[in-house]
Amino acid sequence: MIPSGHMQTLTSTLQIKTLQSPTTSSRKTAQTPLQIPLSMHPIHKNITETKSQKESYNINGPFCLGIESTADDFSVGILSFDGEVLANVISAYVPEEGGIHPREAARHHTRVAGKVLREAFQRSGIKPQDILVVAFSQGPGLGPCLRTGATAARALASYLQTPLVGVNHCVAHIEIGKLITGARDPLTLYVSGGNTIVSAFEAGRYRVFGETLDIAVGNCLDVFAREAGLRQKKEALGAMVEQLASRGRVFAPLPYTVKGMDLSFSGLLTAAVQLLHEQKLHLEDLCFSLQEVVFSMLTEVTERALAHTEKPEILLTGGVAANKRLQSMLSVIAEEHDARFCVAPKEYVLDNGAMIAWTGILAYQHNITVPVEKSLVKLKWRLDEVYAPWAEG
């Protein structure tokens, strides 16, 4: 934590020469972005301490507001440039039946956007005028959802006359994980309803070492859960499968498909659904078997990538990261390879605005901004397409 007085000196004296000035049409472009020296970088601090002492400091800017809207969650996060999370408000769209309908999800985002923004400002205790940068999730994700968040971000940036940063959703998951857990150079397993990626940073980019060849792991679990008649209410489908699985005892063999470091879940899903309809097994046992096979596959490729990259940490993130069984499997391999196992609290592994704001800050400090007229969303924006100079050790 940097005391407020200290921060003032930083702003005025420690500006490092930048390569190029950010290109936005707003008034603030003339300013050189604030550079925080590495020693002051929040990953060097004890995060829990930061949180508990929040009240005792008069938190000073600059601040970044991040908007996340790639899929079913609309979220706004506000962070100070030294990594203090001032607000992280998440509003989830829960479909009445079936999976996420992009149009319905986008409609939800439009409806709650104003409310979520207002609540984020209230919780953070800062005024809109205090925002120096606006960041938004530019992709990958569902078109209508992305566009809703992007529209809100563009409007806000234009109104406040701040630079705009387009953030890659997958990069953001990794960056917030690093900030919250203190991981420096992790091998990341990012598992959610839309993504299954094993990645590590090498030479300017988060390289993809392994990924799904078909559907995402969260998608596999969700579709199975829906086939089994489970319905999402307050609890996520994955959590329901986890609960059922914890009561399962009998292991039924299911297709185990690992190709090098890549994975395939579609055949496994089909086989599990077939077993389900045959009704020879208890649902608990089937959930147990499905989870065991799916997570063993994930753990195997993660271990393979860990042995290959020799990274000092494993970072688990994404919606499926909340699963305790997956966490315990990964901590076993972490221990065996002398790596530290890191997983952030739920609000930072699920889609959230804080991760967009934080990645926005990192990008902005490296002069990576986007002019409003070029801020089109990128539905298929790959993790390894992103130049991420801030992650360079």
Partner 1 sequence: MLIKKGAEASLYLEEWHSRKVIRKHRLPKRYRVLELDMEIRSQRTLHEPQIIHKAKEAGVPTPTIFMVDPVEATIIMEFVEGKQVKQILDNLSLEERYRLCLRIGKLIGCLHNHGVIHGDLTTSNMILTPYGKVVFVDFGLSELSKELETRGVDLHLMKRAFQSTHYRCAKESFDAVIEGYTKVVGDKEAKNVLEKIREIEKRGRYISER
| Residue (163 or 186) nearer to partner 1, CB | 186
Annotate each residue in 86-125 with x if it binds partner 1 (CB under 8 A) or - if it does not, as one string: ----------------------------------------
CA 37 – CA 39 distance, rounded (Å):
5
Tell whether residue 177 is a contact of partner 1 (CB under 8 A): no
Tell whether residue 375 is a contact of partner 1 (CB under 8 A): no
For the bound state, the minimum distance from the C-beta of residue 177 to partner 1, rounded and expressed in Å, comes to 19
Tell whether residue 258 is a contact of partner 1 (CB under 8 A): yes
Tell whether residue 293 is a contact of partner 1 (CB under 8 A): yes
Residue 391, φ and ψ in degrees, nearest 5 = -85, -5
Tokens 């960041």 correspond to what residue? Answer: 135
- Please report, as a single letter, which amino acid is at residue 129: Q
CA atoms within a 13 Å half-sphere pointing along the CA-CB vector of 29: 18
User: How many Å separate Cα 219 from the centre of its chain?
Assistant: 16
Tell whether residue 333 is a contact of partner 1 (CB under 8 A): yes
Contact with partner 1 (CB under 8 A) among 28, 123, 308, 366 = 308
Tell whether residue 332 is a contact of partner 1 (CB under 8 A): yes
Tell whether residue 246 is a contact of partner 1 (CB under 8 A): no
Query: Which of these ranges, 14-22, 120-128, 148-156, 249-257, lies near partner 1 under the rule CB under 8 A?
Result: 249-257
| Residue (114 or 204) nearer to partner 1, CB | 204
Q: Which residues, at least 6 apart from 57, have a Cβ–Cβ distance to it below 8 Å? A: 1, 3, 4
Q: Measure Cα distances from 156 to 65, 121, 150, 164, 226 in Å.
A: 10, 13, 10, 9, 38
For the bound state, the minimum distance from the C-beta of residue 338 to partner 1, rounded and expressed in Å, comes to 11
Query: Which of these ranges, 40-48, 68-76, 276-284, 378-386, lies near partner 1 under the rule CB under 8 A?
Result: 378-386
Q: Left (φ > 0), alpha (ψ -120 to 50) or beta: where does 284 sit?
A: alpha
Tell whether residue 347 is a contact of partner 1 (CB under 8 A): no
Name residues contacting partner 1, limited to 15-44 (CB under 8 A).
none
| Residue (130 or 385) nearer to partner 1, CB | 385
Query: Which of these ranges, 130-138, 220-228, 327-335, 341-349, lies near partner 1 under the rule CB under 8 A?
Result: 327-335
Asked if 306 and 314 count as a contact pair (C-beta separation under 8 A), the reply is yes
Tell whether residue 276 is a contact of partner 1 (CB under 8 A): no
Contact with partner 1 (CB under 8 A) among 57, 123, 239, 256 = 256
Contact with partner 1 (CB under 8 A) among 107, 123, 147, 207 = 207
CA 230 – CA 172 distance, rounded (Å):
31
Q: Give yes or no for a cis peptide into 128 (omega within 30° of 0).
A: no
For the bound state, the minimum distance from the C-beta of residue 187 to partner 1, rounded and expressed in Å, comes to 12
Tell whether residue 251 is a contact of partner 1 (CB under 8 A): yes
SS3 179: helix
Tell whether residue 144 is a contact of partner 1 (CB under 8 A): no
b/e sequence 334-360, b meaning 16+ C-beta within 10 Å: beeeebbbbbbeebbbbbbbbbbbbbb
Q: Is the dihedral of CA 70, 76, 81, 85 positive or negative?
A: negative
Asked if 74 and 109 count as a contact pair (C-beta separation under 8 A), the reply is yes
Q: Are strands 164-168 and 131-139 parallel, antiparallel or unpaired?
A: parallel
For the bound state, the minimum distance from the C-beta of residue 301 to partner 1, rounded and expressed in Å, comes to 8
Residue ranges that bind partner 1, judged by CB under 8 A: 139-140, 194-195, 202-203, 207-209, 211-214, 216, 251, 253, 256, 258-262, 292-293, 296, 299-300, 303-308, 328-330, 332-333, 336, 378-383, 385
